[in-house]
Every structure is written in C-alpha cells, then in structure tokens.
Structure 1
Amino acid sequence: MAIFTIDDVRKTFTNGEVKEEILKGINLSLREGEITALVGASGSGKSTLLTIAAGLQPASDGQVMFEGTNMTNMSPEQVRKIRASKFGFVFQFAHLVPFLTVEEQLMLMLDVSEAKLKKQEQKNEIDKILKLVEMDHRKNAYPSSLSGGEKQRVAIARAIIHKPKVLFADEPTASLDSKRSKDVMMLIRNLTKTLNITTLMVTHDEEMLSYVDSIIKMSDGQILQSAV
C-alpha cells in the first residue's frame, strides 16, 4: 500500500536572473514496510527530493501526498506538526547533544514530539527502543564515550522513539566504516520491517543497496531507472 505519493514534483532555484531546475517532474510512490533508496551522482537531486518529501522545503510545482492528504496545500504549521508526529530523521552524522545521556536524548525527542506521554510511559518506551537497537546497556552513557556506530544507533532510536510512519535517512552510513555501515543498515532494515515503517534513504554506497526493497536512480533532476 502506498503511504506516500510524489506527483510531478519540480523544484527551481533562482539566482538573480538565472533559474535552475533541480527537479524536473518526479513521480514516485512509497509503500509501507519498505526501504526505497535514492542513488545517483552528486547534484542529481536526491537530497532535494528527500527534503521536499519530508516537508523541509516546498516544491515549486507538483504534489506530495501523505496518507491521502496533499501536504503541498498545508500551512507551515500543519507541515511542522506532521514532521513532529509522523516523520523521523537520520543523517550522516548523529548530531547528539553532548551534555545529555543516551536516555536523555530520547526523552528530549519525546518532549518535543506530539507523543504526550507521562514520564513513566516515556521511560518505558525508551527502554523498549534502546533494546531494539541494542543500546539498552548504554542508556546512561554520554556521546563522548560512544563509538561512531553506537552514536548512529542512538540517532536511529531517537528518530523512531515517537513511532513515526516514515523514516527519512540521508547518507546514514557515510561516516562509518564498512562493518558498522552494514550493522546500521541491517538495523534500519529490521526496524522498517518490524515497525512497518516507510523508509526513504539517500546513499552513495552501493554495498548498502542489498538491504533495500526498491532502488531509484536519479540524474540531472530526473528518475532514470527504478528497480525492485
């Protein structure tokens, strides 16, 4: 079932009198419980497409449909609420708050989300998620004592603690070595399937493509090839 539909999305940037079309009519559907990878050379439009789908920037034209609702017609506040309650984000670097423990990182995410849980309920959810990402033994640790792979596991836990419908991952393994990259991708795949999340991922690493369900190859703002 398609939870996300991107219909003829275009993005144009204007620099003085020069207009540059970054996305040239993208059509894409994302299904529940599947990982879709966006691949292509730098400048092909992958990250622009991901940020438009995630509501981080508007499209110049076209529609982004999420759960049957056109996000393009929403106010910035309505889009912000969807991001806070329905979307999770993982980036190349974990961006953990240095003075917060692992548990506190997740507590902060729950506080700013739409989850509205009592403190004990929050602690119970945090324990569950940390166990899923195999970081429950490190919940009182600070980021400075974590390895790169452990930091990314915490970042993933933070992204899914509020039970989002969609996970957006922009180069989630780019800062990791080969072994840790595979561990993180296996974790993302397992969580996508176990929690029935829809995952849209940008990656340059072809070794990570064996973990995804669909591959979308982009070039010059267009989809060249779609493979399942």
Structure 2
Amino acid sequence: MTTFTIQDVRKTFTNGEVNEQVLNGINLSQQQGEITALVGASGSGKSTLLTIAAGLQRASGGQVIFEGKNMTDMTQEGIRKIRASQFGFIFQSSHLVPFLTVEDQLMLMLHVSETKMSKREQKEEVIKVLKLVGMDHRKDAYPASLSGGEKQRVAIGRAIIHKPKMLFADEPTASLDSKRSKDVMILIRNLTKEFNITTLLVTHDEEMLSYADHVITMKDGLIIY
C-alpha cells in the first residue's frame, strides 16, 4: 500500500536578490513497510526533500500526500498534529533531553503524541520498546552516561514509541563508528519491518544502503536514478 507520495515538489530559497532552486520537480512514492534511502553529494537536495516530506518546511510548489491527505493544503497546526502522532524522527545527533532519564525520554514522546494510554500502559509500552532497542537495562540512566551508540538506540526508541506510520532518518549513523552504524541500521530495518513503518532515510554511508529496499540518487535538486 502506498503511504506517501511526493508530486512535482520544488523548493526555492531566496538570498537577497538571488533565487536558488534547490529542488527541481521531485516525484517519489513510498510503500508501507519499506525503507527508501536518499543519497547524493552535499547540496544535492536530499536533506531539503526529507524536511519537506516531514512537514518541517513548506515546498515552493508541488504536493506532499500522506495517506491520501494533501499536507500542502494543511494549516501549520494540522501538519503539527500529523508530525506528533504519525511521524517519527531520527537525526545525526540524538537530541536527548539531558535532565531526563532514558525511560522519561520515551514517556515525554508519548505525552507529545497525545497518546490515549493510561500512565500504567505508557510505562509498560516504554519498557517493551526499550527491550526492543536493547536499552531496558539503562532505563534509569541519563544521557551523559551513555555511549554514542546507546544514545542513538534511545533516540530510535523515542522515534517509534508512539507507533508512527512514517519514520524520517537524517544521517542517523554519521556520528558512529562502523560497527555501531551497522547495529543502528539493522535496528532501523528490523523495526521498520516489525511495525510496518514507511522509512525515508538520508545517508552518505554507502555501506548502509544494503539495508534499504530502494536507493534514490539525487543531484542538483533532481532524482537521477
């Protein structure tokens, strides 16, 4: 089933009197339960495309359609609600809250996503997800005591705790060594399949592409293959 469709998406940035065309008419569709990886040199437009797809910025033209809903026509509040309840995010940095424990990082995400679960159910779900990402034994730890790989595992748990339909990952392994990068990508792939999530991934690391179902190469704001 098609979860996500991008139709003729364009993006122009204005710098003084100069207009820079960053995306030049992108068309892309994604199926449920699959990972699509965006690759290309810096400046190719892949991160801009991801942020537009995720509703973090507006396109200059074209349409972004999620489960049949045209996000291009939505208000900022409508997009915010979709991001909070239906989308999950993983970035190069884990962006963990320094004064919250591992368990509380995930509890906070459940609060933001406005889950209907009771507090007891939330705690049970958090422990379940922490076990999935191999971090239940560190549930009371604070970010400062975690390794880079552990932080990213917590970030992945936080991204999927509310069972999102879409997962957006922007260079999730860039700050990790090769072994931890492999572990993180295996985890992302396994969770994508287990929860039937649609994942859009940006990466520079060619070794990570073997974990994707589809690889799309971008250059100068265009998909070239």
Q: Deviations over 1:26-80 (max 9, x none)?
A: 0000110000000000000000000000000000000001000100000000000
Whole-Å separation in 2 of the counterparts to 1:66 and 1:99: 34
Aligned-partner SS, 2:42: coil
Quote how far apart the aligned CAs of 1:109 are. 0.9
Shift of residue 14 of structure 1?
Answer: 1.1
Q: How does 1:1-228 map to 2 (within 5 A)?
A: 1-225=1-225
TM-score by length of 1: 0.98
TM-score w.r.t. the length of structure 2 is: 0.99
* Superposition deviation, residue 95 in structure 1: 1.0
Count of residue correspondences: 225
- Structure 1 residue 116: Cα displacement: 2.8
Q: Within 1, Cα distance between the matches of 2:82 and 2:44?
A: 27
Instruction: State the Cα distance separating 1:133 from its structure 2 match.
Output: 0.5
Aligned with 1:169: secondary structure? strand
Secondary structure of the residue aligned to 2:163 is coil
Q: Which residue type is aligned with residue 224 of structure 1? A: I
Could you tell me how far apart the structure 2 residues matched to 1:12 and 1:67 are?
Answer: 26
Percent identical among aligned pairs is 78
AA at the equivalent of 1:158: R
Write the letter of the residue equivalent to 1:196.
N
In the aligned structure 2, how far is the partner of 1:46 from the partner of 1:68? Answer: 23
Task: Tell me the secondary structure at the aligned position of residue 224 of structure 2.
Answer: strand
Q: Distance in 1 between matches of 2:142 and 2:218?
A: 39
Root-mean-square deviation over aligned CA pairs: 0.6
**Secondary structure of 1:42's partner?**
coil
